[in-house]
Amino acid sequence: MAAARCPRFGCVVSASQLELAIREAGLAEISPQALRQFEAYLDLLLKWNSKVNLTAIREPGAIIRRHFLESIQCAQALPRIPGATLLDYGSGAGFPGIPIAICRPEIRVTLAESQRKKIAFLREVARSLALASEVFDGRVEEMPPDRRFSFVALRAVDKMAEASKSALARVAPNGWFVAFTTRESGPGFEAALPQIQWHHRLPIVGTSHGEILMGQKF
């Protein structure tokens, strides 16, 4: 099995190392196919990131710890909903949407991104990994007004408070709002969205203050 290579430093990260990181983080195991997809995803991310600024984190092990693990944690925590759809609001380099599409292939994931180079990267990843995911090339506000999703996820989005309001409009009735925040900002975030009944505050693996907030729209 090929391993992902860091083009600048020549380092190698294999699927077995990702598997070990998942185990050490206390997360559920993922399938061999998912491990291979993550390996290919990392390879593409490293290659593109040398030319396009996709993420400031460039060391493969740090990408696994900072991006992959918490996205996998989110994927494993999402409730099981038949025919579920998910909007990754401001997907950027594909977190958490692509890991969710890998770990939960039954969820139809839409990756929303407005920057052209990032759009091209997301489409290449979806094609290369054979993911049943849509890339929406524009601002979420430009989506048809009636588009709603079972889950809407926000992670590392600029102007989070403003984004959360437009994201809320995309959550279907009884759907779920998922936000990556911190222990300090979480309570204020929850209070700003009274339409959401918050159910979970999950400490993000490998961090001292990160949290994943999950709540249901009523």
Per-residue pLDDT of the chain in tens (218 residues, 90 and over written 9):
455 554 443 445 678 889 999 999 999 999 999 999 999 999 999 999 988 889 988 899 899 999 999 999 999 999 999 999 999 999 999 999 999 999 999 999 999 999 999 999 999 999 999 998 999 999 999 999 899 999 999 998 877 778 898 999 999 999 999 999 988 888 888 888 999 999 999 999 999 999 999 999 98
In 3D space, the residue among 177, 173, 175, 174 whose CA is nearest the CA of residue 89 turns out to be 177
User: How many Å apart are CA 51 and CA 82, to the nearest integer?
Assistant: 39
Tokens of 28: 């559920």
Tell me the domains of the chain and their CATH numbers: 4-217 (3.40.50.150)
Count of all residues that appear for the chain in the document: 218
pTM over 0.85: yes
